[in-house]
């Protein structure tokens, strides 16, 4: 699954692409990672990995916010816990709040006011992450807003901004469809945007290929003549895998990416097709033969599993396409997301190559 042999092939392809393009003034690129787990623990080996890349910034999810299933309003969950010792000296932490789009449906002005107050209060409880400062230098909000929730979400952002010191940079994630059609989707009232250059395909369709990233899907949002996006844009690229579980032809659960060694266990799983033919596209399909627990969920016979991942070749292709986007002259390139296996799967030379690609803006002749 994590074959590194394709790295040199893709790198050659990228160099060929560059030879056929017009180069502009190089961007200033700052490498970073997202940290999306519920307990912040950075091992010494992981810190050495970050240092080898020159990574001095982490986007750390503090909280998930969603509607109460019982109908009692808006509730926080998956709040970040921190280990006793975190080697973060010299690394800027950007706290991130993930907010479900449903939060801003039929929400009252009083609820928006209260939510903005609670978010700022939560920020103030993590001074260790900001080197003892009462607030971070930047705070980010991750919400895939829609036309029906845009007004409420943008109002929330403005209320948060009024509660924070003027020195705090406010940023928001920007999906590809929001990047392509800012007139229709609106532009959030923040200082910076983070272009999420992944999740390009149809996660709901069991017959789909790799929904995390497929170049042909991404090109639909980057091709043609695009005006500069109204906000300075940073960039997020995928370095993760997941397993999508389909039950009765519908998406049931999203699990951490299952390894080949698990899926090759013929006691529990059977390939839905010849997975050897799918490796180049960075996904596999399998059926559950015998009921089993995985990641705390019971998989029953007949469930379809689609495991998707980002190969080195795919990551380089994503970087090549993203280099032509309307990114800031000083761009943070953040990899989503950092976990224990990341240093092995995405080694420093590969991520250095990605950053070099992004440094050079590209214009097709």
Domain ranges of the chain: 6-240+311-364, 241-308
The pLDDT of residue 303 is above 80: yes
pLDDT, tens digit, 9 for 90 and up, residues 28-59: 999 999 999 999 999 899 999 999 999 999 99
Give the mean model confidence (pLDDT) for residues 276-300.
Answer: 88
DSSP 201: S
pLDDT, tens digit, 9 for 90 and up, residues 5-17: 344 434 444 443 4
The pLDDT of residue 69 is above 60: yes
Non-local (6+) Cβ contacts of 293 within 8 A are: 299
What proportion of the chain, given as a percentage, has pLDDT over 70?
90
What proportion of the chain, given as a percentage, has pLDDT over 90?
76
The alpha helices in 169-213, defined as continuous H runs, are: 176-180, 182-185
CA gap 16, 4 in Å, rounded: 20
Going by C-alpha positions, the residue among 7, 14, 22, 327 that lies closest to residue 193 is: 327
Give the mean model confidence (pLDDT) for residues 332-355.
Answer: 96
Q: Hey, how many other C-beta atoms are within 10 angstroms of the C-beta on 82?
A: 14
pLDDT, tens digit, 9 for 90 and up, residues 143-195: 999 999 999 999 999 999 999 999 999 999 999 999 999 999 999 999 999 99
pLDDT, tens digit, 9 for 90 and up, residues 219-266: 999 887 678 999 999 999 999 999 999 999 999 999 999 988 899 999
pLDDT at 313: 93
pTM of this prediction?
0.90
6-240+311-364 has which CATH code? Answer: 3.20.20
The alpha helices in 223-323, defined as continuous H runs, are: 260-263, 312-322
Q: Hey, how many other C-beta atoms are within 10 angstroms of the C-beta on 270?
A: 12
Non-local (6+) Cβ contacts of 169 within 8 A are: 137, 138, 139, 191, 192
Lowest pLDDT segment from 23-37, 297-311, 313-327: 23-37
DSSP 72: S
The pLDDT of residue 71 is above 90: no
Place of tokens 């980057």: 222
CA gap 190, 234 in Å, rounded: 13
């Amino acid at each position: 699954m994590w074959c590194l042999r394709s790295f040199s092939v893709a790198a050659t392809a990228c160099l060929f692409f560059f030879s056929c393009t017009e180069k502009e003034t190089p961007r200033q690129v700052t490498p970073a990672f997202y940290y999306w787990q519920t307990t912040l623990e950075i091992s010494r080996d992981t810190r050495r990995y970050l240092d080898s890349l020159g990574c001095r910034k982490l986007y750390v999810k503090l909280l998930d916010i969603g509607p109460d299933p019982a109908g009692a309003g808006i509730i926080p969950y998956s709040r970040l816990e921190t280990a006793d010792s975190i080697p973060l000296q010299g690394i800027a932490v950007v706290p991130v709040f993930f907010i479900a789009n449903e939060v801003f449906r039929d929400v009252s002005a009083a609820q928006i006011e209260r939510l903005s107050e609670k978010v700022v209060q939560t920020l103030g409880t993590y001074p260790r992450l900001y080197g003892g400062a009462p607030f971070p230098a930047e705070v980010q909000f991750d919400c895939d807003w829609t036309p029906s929730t845009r007004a409420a979400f943008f109002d929330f952002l403005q209320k948060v901004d009024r509660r924070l010191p003027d020195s705090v940079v406010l940023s928001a994630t920007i999906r590809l469809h929001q990047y392509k059609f800012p007139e229709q989707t609106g532009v959030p009232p923040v200082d910076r945007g983070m272009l999420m250059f992944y999740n390009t395909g149809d996660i709901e369709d069991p017959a789909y290929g790799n929904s995390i990233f497929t170049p042909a899907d991404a090109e639909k949002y980057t091709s043609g003549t695009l005006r500069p996006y109204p906000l300075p844009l940073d960039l997020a690229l995928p370095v993760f895998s997941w397993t999508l579980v389909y039950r009765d032809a519908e998406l049931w659960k999203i699990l951490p990416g299952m390894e080949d060694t698990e899926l090759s266990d013929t006691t529990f799983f059977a390939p839905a097709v010849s997975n050897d033919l799918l490796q180049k596209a960075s996904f596999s399909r399998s059926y559950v033969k015998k009921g089993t627990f995985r990641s705390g969920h019971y998989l029953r016979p007949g469930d379809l599993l689609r495991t998707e991942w980002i190969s080195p070749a795919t990551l380089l292709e994503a970087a090549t396409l993203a280099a032509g986007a309307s990114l800031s002259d000083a761009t943070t390139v953040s990899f989503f997301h950092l976990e224990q296996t990341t240093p092995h799967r995405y080694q420093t030379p590969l991520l250095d190559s990605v950053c070099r690609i992004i440094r050079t803006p590209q214009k097709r002749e």
